[in-house]
Amino acid sequence: MTLLRVEDLTIKFKSRQGVVKAVDKLNFELAQGSSLGIVGESGSGKSVTSLTIMGLLQNANTEITGNIDFDGLDLLKLSPNEMRKIRGNSISMIFQEPMTSLNPLHTCGKQIMEPILIHQKDVSKQEAKNHAIELLRMVGIPSPEQRFHEYPHQMSGGMRQRIMIAIALACNTKLLIADEPTTALDVTIQAQILDLMNSLKKKRDMSIIMITHDLGVVKEMCEKVVVMYTGQIVEKSPTELVFTDPLHPYTRGLLNAIPKISSKVERLEAIEGTVPDALNMPSGCSFHPRCKYATEKCKLKAPPLFQLEDGREVKCFIYDGSKKGDDVNATK
Amino acid sequence: MRKFSSFISQKGFLFKLGLFICAFWIFVVIFVPLIATHSTTAQDLSIRYQPPSFSHFFGTDELGRDVFSRVMYGSRISLSAGIITVIIAFSFGIFFGGIAGYKGGKVDEVMMRFSELIMAFPPLILAMVIAAALGPSIINSVIAMAIIWWPNYARLMRSMVISLKESEYVTASRVMGASHIRVLFLEILPNSFGPLLVMATLDLGNAILMFSGLSFLGLGTQPPTPEWGSMVSDGAKVIQNWWVSTFPGLAIFSISIGANFVGDGLRDFLDPKLQKE
């Protein structure tokens, strides 16, 4: 069953210098109980997409078009008040910075109780408290009764991220958006948090959108991956195939840039150049100035998303009419 | 849970001193009829300008009235005028500045220009105009002072809100479905309380002084009502008889410094990070 369907989502920001297209014709689907990774470097539109799904990106200078269909509701057409009832209730989000995402003046317990008290009007304070302690236990915090009364500064980064997860799951969450949830944590804690999220996902049959630039996290967590570049999807495929057989030159570049413990190389490979200025996009394919395989055609015309026979999608002319990217080597 | 009593015991000397001073004045305000040794208005020109002695602890003023009794009775008027002014200005200022800072944009622009309109006038003059227009009385001068005072709190609150509304925990609480009102008053306000509280306690002394200024001009209390500010200004004319203005002055000094120590300590009490376990 499809839980979330994003269709032709386009987000434009009006700035003094001109209109910036932060996200351009985004399409993806997410089934209930599955997980999707959105990968891309800074400025590729990952976080903007997630904030739009949460309905937090509404102001006079933002223009959002397209459809976001969540569980039969068109999120972009809901009133702010209706959207507020969904936020924190059936869609939740956790952030990159567990250090600053908790209010320093409220106890952790109080902050977990808050979404329960906001969204479930018939729940008494005592019930909410019991539920919050239960949630603390669920996310693996030792002696939850005592931790309930503690303040965020008394906890470590990993524990705070667990608290954030507990807050996000306080109501009956169907979709959890995790915006780089482990970036600020060290590797061992990172592994614990990812394990926790994986087990909760199975237990509650919820869907996760994992926004990250860490491909390792994606491999651990996600069934499908969407690779974004300058607000567009450049590749969409199942996770294993992204690692074994990346299609788009950009994805290949990303994978090559990961340091490997087995090989002895002095320098890491990097993708040449930088992300283009959002106000001054290159003509044709937005990746062509950095692409090794770029041809004249790429400079003139933006490639559409080609659908391959195995269901994968890629935005590159290399795959025009081909089953798989065999001719990449020929172009080399 | 944190207890206020255990908090007091961990705090330093200054907080305890401030608490003691405030408690002392509250005691005086309540029990002043028992403390005062003389009537505040009884004049006796044969004993004018007596230096402090056992019969007149703080001496006597130009009309032979007992300065000690007048200082003690003056606490009722001066303290309540000061405290009420600060409370009104504080509450309105936070509300106004909070909305301006949180809404931002044009709303902020209009609201802040309005507060600047009030700040553009010399405070005492504007207070005089308002108090005179409303008619001289204690309540009217308190209202006049609150009107000229709130923009200070509004501006401070606005600047706190503007920086705090971008913080991650505000976004996080929006994400979990909190309404704007909830975010502003339950998430942002407690975090901006520290500086506001310190400013309010510092202002208490200023408010008492300004109230005395208005009284001196005949807009607050009328003579012979005992009031600290007018007593200081009466005594300033005869500085060689130092006791006439020194004791009410010391009273103003002690309450403002006491309130400030308490405010400082309260700010620490409200900040869980500064708590010792």
Q: Which domains occur in chain A, in start order? A: 2-228 (3.40.50.300), 230-331 (no CATH)
**Which of A24, A107, A37 has the alpha carbon at shortest distance from A64?**
A24
Given a cut of 80, whether residue B11 has pLDDT beyond it is no
CA separation for the pair A76, A69 (Å, rounded)? 8
Instruction: List, in sequence order, every beta strand (DSSP E) within chain B.
Output: none
A57-89: pLDDT as tens digits: 877 788 888 888 988 888 888 888 888 888 888
Q: Does B174 contact A at CB distance below 8 Å?
A: yes
Is the pLDDT at B7 greater than 80? The verdict is no
Contact between A103 and B1 using a beta-carbon 8 Å cutoff: no
**B175 — contact with chain A (CB < 8 Å)?**
yes
Assess if CATH 1.10.3720.10 describes domain B10-274: yes
According to DSSP, the residues that pair with A36 across neighbouring strands are A209, A224
B191 contact residues in A (CB cutoff 8 A): 103-105
If one counts every other C-beta atom within 10 angstroms of the C-beta of residue A240, the result is 11
Cβ distance B190 to A164 less than 8 Å, yes or no, reads: no
Phi, psi at A202, each rounded to 5°:
-65, -45
Cβ of B179 under 8 Å from any chain A Cβ? yes
Residues linked to residue A212 through DSSP beta bridges, in sequence order: A39
CB contact under 8 A, B172 and A167: yes
Surface-to-core class of residue B49, CB atoms within 10 Å of its CB (0-12 exposed, 13-18 middle, 19+ buried): middle
Q: How many CB pairs under 8 A join A and B?
A: 70
Mean pLDDT of B139-146: 91
Whether B58 and B68 have beta carbons less than 8 Å apart is answered as yes
Cα(A166)–Cα(A136) distance, rounded to whole angstroms?
6
CB-CB neighbors (< 8 A) of A54 in chain B? 175
| Distance between CA atoms of residues B123 and B94, nearest Å | 19
Q: Does A252 touch chain B (CB under 8 A)?
A: no
Contact B59, B52 (CB under 8 A): yes
Q: 135-174 in A: which are within 8 Å (CB) of B? A: 149, 151, 153, 164, 167-168, 170
Is pTM beyond 0.95 here?
A: no
User: Which chain B residues are closer than 8 Å to A106 by Cβ?
Assistant: 190
pLDDT for B41 beyond 60: yes
Give the chain B residue nearest A112 (alpha carbons): B176
DSSP element (H, E) containing A91? strand A91-94
pLDDT digits (tens, 9 = 90+) for A17-55: 888 888 888 888 898 888 999 988 877 888 888 888 888
**pLDDT (0 to 100) of residue B94:** 93
Q: Where are the domains of chain B?
A: 10-274
**What pLDDT digit, counting tens, does each position of B66-124 carry?**
888 888 888 888 888 989 999 999 999 999 999 999 988 899 999 999 999 999 999 88
How crowded is the C-beta side of B260, counted as CA atoms within 13 Å?
Answer: 12
**What's the mean pLDDT in A323-329?**
47
The pLDDT of residue A331 is 41
In terms of DSSP H, where are the helices of B11-104? Answer: 13-35, 67-103
Which residue of chain B is at minimal alpha-carbon distance from A54?
Answer: B175
Read off the pLDDT of residues B218-271 as tens digits, 9 standing for 90 and up.
Answer: 787 777 788 888 888 788 788 888 888 888 888 888 888 888 888 888 777 777
Report the percentage of chain A scoring pLDDT > 90.
6
Chain B contact present for A306, CB below 8 A? no
pLDDT digits (tens, 9 = 90+) for A260-274: 777 676 677 777 777
Residues of A in contact with B175 (CB under 8 A): 54, 56, 87-88, 92-93
Residue (of A227, A224, A220) closest to A193 by Cα position: A220
Interchain contact B187–A (C-beta under 8 A): yes
Interface of B with A in 39-98 (CB under 8 A): none
Q: Do B172 and A149 touch (CB under 8 A)?
A: no
Mean pLDDT of chain B: 85
Looking at per-residue pLDDT, the higher value among B19 and A331 belongs to B19
Which of A54, A101, A114 is nearest residue B168 as measured by Cβ atoms? Answer: A101
pLDDT for A21 = 85
Question: Interface pTM (ipTM) of the complex?
Answer: 0.74
The pLDDT tens digits of the residues spanning A182-241 come to 877 788 888 888 888 888 888 888 899 998 888 888 888 898 999 988 888 888 989 888
